[in-house]
Amino acid sequence: MTGSGAGGPVRRIAVLLEYEGTRYAGSQYQKNADTVQAALERAVSRLTGESVRVALAGRTDAGVHAKGQVVSFLSASTHTSDVLARGLNFHLPDDIAVRKAAEAPLRFDVRRQAVSRWYRYTVCRRGPRPALLRRYAWHVEEPLDAGVTAEAARALVGEHDFAAFTRPSLKGRSGTVRRVQRAEVLQRGDLLLFDIEANAFLPHQVRRTVGTLVRVGRGRMPAEEFERLVTEAPPGAARYAAPPQGLCLMRVRYEIELFGNETREDVQS
């Protein structure tokens, strides 16, 4: 870490971040494309004069959004948390915003110490295509049975091998067992909200899960077949991934309260 901002003792800063992922090649740094991480690192450098590498709690793909991404970095800046939040927002583009900033324990690991991650996927069931939701929802024109979909989603809860819902090449190379704490389908008028919370997720797991559940709701796959994908875990068998724009990382939960005691209702508002 270098720069004119260095001078005081090194602190670990945690940031609660929201962003619209439409124009980014994902959250993680990439050499030849703009990412959320790169934009945040530029903002930190402009505010503090330091060159830092930030760590993110969860990886989001190109076009995926976040309301509750958590990021941390080391800094010798003496700015208060409020000044850091306001200053970073001044230097960030309009589609990325710091909701809160806080000082975390120096040994805090933003990724490994996460207890759970909550994702929400939004499907719009309205007949005519929506203009205002085109960047934030998957428009499904065919009839979609919410009750059947919700019933099938219950099979996800618990500890399972989710190899069926990720790239087949991951099976055998790394662990594909995850623990899902909650899987719900909520109706909000024309919208169906797929909420899933787990200790961690495999690459494309949520989008492949939603894509397959939508097939169940359309009557293109029996619910028993979906349950078989969960219980038998044939690698890569859930091939139908929902498009990225409907997915949003809502919250990352830790044993310590970094930003105050936010409830689920606070996050959804």
Give the tokens for residue 77. Answer: 């800046």
- In our burial notation (b when 16+ CB lie closer than 10 A, e otherwise), range 46-73 reads ebbebebebbbbbebbbbbbbbbbbbbb
Q: How many other β-carbons are positioned within 10 Å of the β-carbon of residue 79?
A: 19
Which structure tokens are listed for 185? 């389908």
CA dist list (Å): 125 to 8, 9, 42, 133, 145: 54, 53, 39, 11, 10
61 in catalytic set: yes
Q: CB under 8 Å to 54, separation ≥6 — which residues? A: 37, 40, 41, 44, 71, 72, 73
Q: DSSP character for 176?
A: -
Q: CB count, 10 Å around CB of 244?
A: 19
Q: Which helix (H) or strand (E) holds 232?
A: helix 223-232
Among residues 61, 161, 190, 195, which one is catalytic?
Answer: 61
Please give the Cα distance from 262 to 265 (Å, whole number): 8
- Cβ atoms within 10 Å, residue 32: 5
Strands 116-124 and 138-139: parallel
Structure tokens at 147: 């009750």
C-beta of residue 205 within 8 angstroms of C-beta of residue 119: no
**Catalytic residue positions, numbered:** 61
